[in-house]
């Protein structure tokens, strides 16, 4: 473990290519976190308007998340995104701390993935309610109205899941590279 009281010049220098790789991965994580933070701000604004309460009738989890504790969940999402962004910015300066805080990055990615899955299943549940048929029915997808309205929406919903999944993948890569770098230095 490095001495926190030593100046940065006294710490063993890291190889330039490994540091550059870690910095690039941290920039990608910061960009993904910023994107998720913007989504969390939009979610907070939507809960303050009360426009998400209709999706609370989809399932018990949606009811708890969108009707019982909507403000608390929105503020928690916002706070966790800001904390994750601050941590990533801190890690850009101090790569040695990365293996010790990896669980927070994983927990943040998993929680964001859970939020997005709730959003996707909520929209699918509302589509089921509106169409009066099951979205899982093959005849529903072969109808002419589904091609023009529902399929583009589902493509956008699937795109929502890409960012948290990419965050988790890049977090795993970042932590493995940081651990490998720590082993080569010590």
The answer to whether position 37 is within a domain reads yes
The answer to whether position 3 is within a domain reads no
Q: Is the pLDDT of residue 6 over 70?
A: no
The answer to whether position 6 is within a domain reads no
Q: Is the pLDDT of residue 79 over 80?
A: yes
Q: What is the pTM of this model?
A: 0.80
Instruction: Say how many domains are in the chain.
Output: 1
Domain that holds residue 33: 16-185
Task: Give the integer Cα–Cα distance in Å for 72 and 44.
Answer: 9
The answer to whether position 2 is within a domain reads no
The answer to whether position 111 is within a domain reads yes
Under 8 Å between Cβ of 73 and 125: no
The answer to whether position 8 is within a domain reads no
Q: Is the pLDDT of residue 186 over 80?
A: no
The answer to whether position 7 is within a domain reads no
Under 8 Å between Cβ of 98 and 178: yes
- 50-70 residue pLDDT tens: 888 877 888 888 888 888 999
The answer to whether position 154 is within a domain reads yes
Average pLDDT, the chain: 84
């Amino acid at each position: 473990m490095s001495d926190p009281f030593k100046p940065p010049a006294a710490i063993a220098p890291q190889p330039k290519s490994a540091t550059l790789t870690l910095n690039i991965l941290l920039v990608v994580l910061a960009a993904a976190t910023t994107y998720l933070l913007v989504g969390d701000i939009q979610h907070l604004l939507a809960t303050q308007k009360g426009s998400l309460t209709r999706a609370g009738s989809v399932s018990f989890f949606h009811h708890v998340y969108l009707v019982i504790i909507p403000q608390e969940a929105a503020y928690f999402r916002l706070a966790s995104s800001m904390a994750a962004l601050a941590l990533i910015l801190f890690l850009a300066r101090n790569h040695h701390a990365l293996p010790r805080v990896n669980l927070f990055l994983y927990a943040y990615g998993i929680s964001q993935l859970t939020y997005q899955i709730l959003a996707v299943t909520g929209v699918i549940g509302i589509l089921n309610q509106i169409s009066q048929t099951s979205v899982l029915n093959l005849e529903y997808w072969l109808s002419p109205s589904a091609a023009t309205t529902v399929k583009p929406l589902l493509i956008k919903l699937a795109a929502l899941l890409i960012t948290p999944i990419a965050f988790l993948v890049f977090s795993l890569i970042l932590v493995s590279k940081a651990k490998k770098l720590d082993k080569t230095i010590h």
